[in-house]
């Protein structure tokens, strides 16, 4: 196209075809570069610095820049970009698969069936809804995170002692407090150290000791990723130390299966994510209080091979940005 024709086309609002293709190729490269950065850390089994940990929480959504990159590369007739986009899409699909085996290694007769509920009540805001859920669902074990002083008082006053005679409650305000309610006898166990309380206990279930541990590490917000990684590392160390025994590790992990720090917890303790076993590995638990497509599962109940998983349900509670998780388990003798 001559320079005079180019100027005429510009006056008529027609963009030269070459420039349009170049722009499409540039946009494709940008989208694919961002997705590749995140996938690179996932492939390296690392969480990286901000903004990678935050992006990893929503890893399946990398299909969006991958698909956009493929379309834009096609418009640009950029063959290398189309191949690059295909690799990004394939890698995203590969890593979006559920992590870990589809069953536990539970064997032998069933000693007891039990239901476990975990809920982050967000500064106590969902305490009333939690108490209603406890009365309705009748779980055997209840793990509560962000149970402030009013929440602790409400649990003491409104959840009958006869129903949950055994309790481990850390009375702290704001997001710091936690509670563990049990129908089974409890004896003390060392907590996991953290900014927010992570109490532990040993429950006697059908004559067997079951180590209970509440998880609530710091979130991986910008500027605090190091603290998040350190506290998940302590939870990993707990899991490694409890390996070989019957273990229930439940709470708000502030991490999904796409975070290396969470996968390390699973692998160190030979633990299984109950939602994954129940076919709910990509069901979101956070954020639950606003309309957004960017959601992820960071609330988990992890179990040792002593348990089989019967079902997992996520419950909507108003007053919190988390969904509660209710899991039905069987404890085996074997």
pLDDT tens sequence across 68-103: 999 999 999 999 999 999 999 999 999 999 999 999
pLDDT value for 180: 98
Supply the angle between the helices 79-95 and 17-43 in degrees, to the nearest 10.
30
Mean pLDDT of 160-178: 97
Return the CA Rg of the chain. 24
| pLDDT tens profile 190-204 | 999 999 999 999 999
Please identify which residue in the block is written with the tokens 């702290």.
172
- In DSSP terms, which residues pair with 246 in a beta bridge? 210
Query: How confident is the model at residue 242, as a pLDDT?
Result: 97
Q: How much is the pLDDT for 17?
A: 64
The sheet carrying 307-315 orders its strands as: 166-170, 178-182, 141-145, 110-120, 324-332, 307-315
User: What is the chain's mean pLDDT, rounded?
Assistant: 95
* Residue 330 burial by Cβ neighbours in a 10 Å radius (0-12, 13-18, 19+): middle
Q: What is the CATH number of the domain that holds 249?
A: 3.60.10.10
Which domain range does residue 146 map to?
110-332
pLDDT band at 11 (very low <50, low <70, confident <90, very high): very low
27-59 confidence digits (pLDDT tens): 999 999 999 999 999 999 999 999 999 999 999
Q: Is there a single domain that holds both residue 164 and residue 313?
A: yes
> What is d(CA 102, CA 254) in angstroms, rounded to the nearest whole number?
23
Mean pLDDT over 213-233 rounds to 97
**Domain co-membership, 138 together with 247:** yes
In 3D space, the residue among 281, 296, 259 whose CA is nearest the CA of residue 45 turns out to be 259
The answer to whether 327 and 107 are in contact (CB under 8 A) is: no
Query: Percent of the chain, pLDDT > 90?
Result: 93
- Residue 4 above 70 pLDDT? no
Q: 5 pLDDT exceeds 60?
A: no
Number of domains in the chain: 2
What length does the chain have? 334
pLDDT at 57: 97
Q: pTM score > 0.75 for this model?
A: yes
Do 45 and 178 fall within a single domain? Answer: no
Tokens 């305490």 map to which residue? 127
Last residue of a domain, one of 95, 120, 137: 95
Which of 41, 68, 95 is a domain's end point?
95
Q: 165 and 247: one domain?
A: yes
Residue 334 pLDDT grade (very low, low, confident, very high; cuts 50, 70, 90): confident
Is the pLDDT confidence value at 25 over 90? yes
Residue bearing tokens 């005079």? 4
Question: What are the DSSP calls for 241-308, one per residue?
Answer: HHTTSEEEEEEE-S--TTSHHHHHHHHHHT-EEHHHHTT-TT---B--SS--S--B--EEEEE-TTEE
Whether residue 129 sits in one domain with residue 89: no
Q: What are phi and psi of 104, to 5 degrees?
A: -90, 180
Residue 256 placed within a domain:
yes
Say yes or no: 176 and 318 in one domain.
Answer: yes
What's the pLDDT band for 7 if we cut at 50, 70, 90? low
Task: Give the pLDDT confidence score for residue 276 in this predicted structure.
Answer: 98
pLDDT band at 329 (very low <50, low <70, confident <90, very high): very high
Q: What angle do CA 223, 232, 134 make, to 5 degrees?
A: 110
- Span 137-164, pLDDT tens digits: 999 999 999 999 999 999 999 999 999 9
Instruction: Kindly give the residue spans of alpha helices, DSSP state H, lying in 57-212.
Output: 63-76, 79-95, 127-137, 149-158
266 in the same domain as 124: yes
């Amino acid at each position: 196209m001559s320079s005079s024709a180019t100027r005429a086309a510009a006056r008529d609002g027609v963009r030269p075809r070459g420039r349009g293709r170049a722009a499409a190729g540039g946009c494709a490269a940008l989208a694919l570069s961002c997705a590749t950065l995140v996938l690179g850390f996932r492939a390296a089994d690392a969480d990286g610095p901000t903004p990678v940990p935050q992006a990893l929480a929503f890893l399946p959504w990398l299909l969006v820049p991958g698909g956009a990159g493929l379309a834009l590369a096609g418009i640009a007739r950029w063959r290398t970009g189309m191949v690059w986009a295909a690799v990004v899409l394939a890698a995203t699909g590969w890593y979006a698969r559920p992590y870990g085996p589809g069953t536990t290694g539970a064997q032998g007769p069933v000693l007891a069936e039990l239901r476990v509920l975990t809920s982050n009540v967000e500064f106590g805001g969902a305490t009333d809804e939690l108490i209603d859920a406890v009365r309705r669902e009748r779980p055997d074990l209840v793990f509560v995170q962000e149970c402030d002083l009013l929440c602790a008082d409400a649990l003491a006053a409104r959840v009958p002692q006869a129903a949950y005679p055994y309790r481990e409650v850390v009375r702290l305000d704001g997001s710091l407090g936690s509670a563990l309610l049990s129908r089974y006898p409890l004896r003390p166990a060392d907590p996991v150290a953290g900014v927010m309380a992570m109490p532990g206990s040993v429950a006697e279930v059908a004559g067997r000791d079951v180590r209970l541990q509440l998880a609530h590490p710091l979130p991986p917000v910008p500027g605090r990723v190091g603290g998040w990684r350190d506290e998940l590392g302590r939870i990993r160390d707990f899991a490694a130390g409890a390996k070989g025994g019957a273990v229930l590790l439940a709470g708000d992990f502030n991490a999904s299966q796409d975070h290396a720090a969470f996968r390390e917890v699973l692998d160190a303790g030979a633990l299984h994510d109950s939602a994954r076993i129940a076919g709910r590995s990509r069901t979101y638990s956070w954020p639950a209080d606003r309309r957004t497509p960017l959601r992820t599962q960071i609330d988990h109940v992890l179990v040792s091979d002593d348990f089989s998983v019967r079902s997992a349900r996520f419950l909507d509670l108003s007053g919190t940005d988390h969904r509660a998780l209710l899991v039905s388990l069987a404890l085996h003798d074997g």
